[in-house]
Chain A
Amino acid sequence: MTAINRRTVLQGLAVATGTLAAPAVQAQPTPVRIGFLTVKTGPLASGGLQMEQGLLLYLKERNNRLAGRAVELITADTGGVPAQARTKTQELVERNRVHCIIGPLAAFEALAIDDYIRGVGLPTLAVAAADDMTQRNPNPWFVRATSTSSQCAHPMADYALNELRMRRMAVIADDIAYGHEMLGGFQRVFEDGGGRVVQKLWPPLAVPDYGTYISQFRSNLDGIYMGFAGSNGFRFTRQFNEYGMGGRVPLTGGMTAVDESLLQNMGNEALGIVSANWYSAELDNPINRSFVELMRRDYRVDPGFYAAATYTNGAVLEAAMRSVDGRVEDKEPFMAALRTNAVPETCRGPVRFDQYGNVVGNVYIRRVERKGPRLVNTVIKTYPDVSQFWTYDPAAYLRNPVYSRDNPASRFLER
């Protein structure tokens, strides 16, 4: 993979703009500058690198032109550290004078730059999943085309209840807000439908070994729900199998537990895991088929959560730019376009946005299956038009506090 930095993008752009026919009235002379906040060093780097791959692919397919204007991508490495995320955002705005930002990756990065974004009025196509960014603390400059942490957990619980007929489950997730919110959403729908969460385990994010947790699972479980981030789902599943639990208790997962990027290195221990996400590389629409094809050709990997996130953001950005005839400099109409456009064709299917700037789109239930030499997330059910509030009334939903370790309250825990 070539390391793209600002210099090479600028050089490439110089060539591209040099070949433009200048006198055309529609084509504006200065390129649109897109800031890209991602993580390229440190433990979160794998997601960040995939975000970059997805975005570069989108732009490359269009010769770095969106809605008739040339675009320049300026990549900034936040290292996964909130202070650095904020500094990089300031650099993108003040030094590079970007028109909009794609990213950041992590929830705490988004929270760190939240007030700055509001202050300067910077359209931000966020990837981070923090629920409250589009719920109780909505930022008018955010638009999120991926999902909240709990958005995909709600339908997963529904599926577990009604199709998998599970009634008695244990949940295990990373002890961070992402895990809390995912599990909270799952538990709420699961218990509202008559199920019982009898055990909740919260391993710290960077725990070396899951052995001690695996040995704590109660007996007679119908299933286990995993809310892991990063590569933890990978390690947990392997160890789960090593302890002889594989096949005895079905595993279900959240958005990133069996991400495509992890599947490529997993073996038979992953077969049969059911998870819910707003994307799967197996989605059968023309845009996705071509996207997956290109990712395999250029980067030799299947796209997962992160690559699809930026690829979708690219589509949302392009659609908004089209609506304003490329005039991104007029921030208000541009932001309004970002949040009100319905984009019927993206790699994840149709997307539109609710009044808080969060996506309303399909959520797919997938099962890990073997297809030839590789493991894939086969789509077995589609929940269309899923919003961040599931089937609940938004006003009532927002009156509850955000999901946390203790919310919803655990009424059925067995100890």
Chain B
Amino acid sequence: MQFYVIQTLNSLALGGVLFLLSSGFSLIFGLQRIPNLAHGALFMLGAYIGTSLISRGVDFWAAAVLSGIAVGLLGAALERLILRRLAGNEQGQVLVTLGVAFIIADVCLMVWTGDPIPVPAPDGLRRPIFAYGLAFPTYRLVVVGVAVVMAVLLFLLIERTRLGAMIRAGVDDMEMARGVGIRVSRLFSITFFFGVALAGAAGVVAGPIFSAYPGLDADMLPLALVVVILGGVGSLLGAFVGSFVVGFVYNFGTALLPDLAYVILFLPMVLALVFKPEGLFGRARP
């Protein structure tokens, strides 16, 4: 019984982190059809910047926001200067975003060196919660809360604001959106900035769980991709559900079937895709 409770909580926590990580990717790919393969590297960069800010005394949550903004600005520059020229050139986008990922990874290695750097959780959240004879890290529960709050905010943004309406229009039908006068290029910049900023902030928020270390980018990118594909591209609900599905499958799968530890992440995705290629909540594209 204890085992199931703890693994459930683990799954929720992992799901929360995955949602923070992948929501940005889903947004960018859904709207702009850009597979931003630098997403993991930007997450890692956010985590590293966060460690530097926190070590200088900046408050944890402020550091998360500031890191997000810094990384977001980098992303916006990337979009404006380079990605914009490659509209429609999917392979070129893959090449560029991977190139950026390489550069960011090497720069992080240069600046922060190779040893792992801890990201201290905010004061007061470091001790575990003890309840019903179980101990669980307080901070991980907080992360679940943050993910839910973020999901709600994003939902409100997408469904209830004008900007959100424009984004939805663009995701559904780019040509029509242009046709009704939506300034698509400005929209692109905003969503790209936003999506990347989410990744950077997520790096800090997930920092107390993962820390910042070289290789974090390569560990995170497949996770983000799996969530987005499983959930359906461009669907925030899909990213949300997908995150928790992956969280549960990963935690329970690794515990119950250790031999499948390497494949447990991908197996459900492959199965889902084989039966419903557009993902759980995605829309079939012609």
Q: Which residues of A contact B (CB under 8 A)?
A: 41-43, 45-49, 175, 201-204, 206-209, 211-213, 215-216, 231, 234-235, 238-239, 242-245, 261-262, 264-267
Contact = CB atoms under 8 A, between A and B. Distances in A.
9 contacts: A45-B109, A175-B261, A206-B215, A206-B218, A212-B255, A235-B213, A242-B139, A265-B116, A265-B117
B185 interface: no
A46 B135 contact: no
A206 B261 CA distance: 11
B74 to A, nearest CB: 21
Nearest to A248: B135
A242 to B, nearest CB: 4
Interface residues on B, range: 35 or more
A175 B262 CA distance: 10
B215 A43 contact: yes
B140 A211 contact: yes
A239 to B, nearest CB: 7
Contacts of A209: 14, 209-210
Contacts of A262: 115-116
Interface stretch (B5-13, B64-72, B79-87, B275-283): B5-13
A216 B3 contact: yes
A56 to B, nearest CB: 15
B128 A41 contact: no
Contacts of A45: 109, 114, 214
Given A215-B7, A262-B115, 9 more contacts: A45-B109, A202-B261, A204-B261, A209-B209, A211-B14, A211-B140, A212-B251, A235-B213, A242-B140
B174 interface: no
B115 A46 contact: yes
Contact of A46 (B113, B140, B210): B113
B136 interface: yes
A201 B223 CA distance: 22
A265 B48 CA distance: 14
Contacts of A204: 261-262
Interface string B202-232: 0000001111011100111001000000000
Query: What secondary structure prevails in chain A residues at the interface with B?
Result: loop
Contacts of A264: 115
A216 B2 CA distance: 10
A211 to B, nearest CB: 4
B178 interface: no
Contacts of A245: 135
Nearest to B135: A244
B128 A212 contact: no
A244 B220 CA distance: 26
Contacts of A47: 114
A235 B211 contact: yes
Given A43-B215, A212-B255, A243-B135, A235 B140 contact: no
Interface-central residue, A203, A234, A264, by most chain B CB under 10 Å: A234
Contact of B115 (A202, A211, A231, A242): A231
A132 B233 CA distance: 48
Nearest to B117: A265
B191 to A, nearest CB: 27
A238 B128 CA distance: 12
Contacts of A203: 261
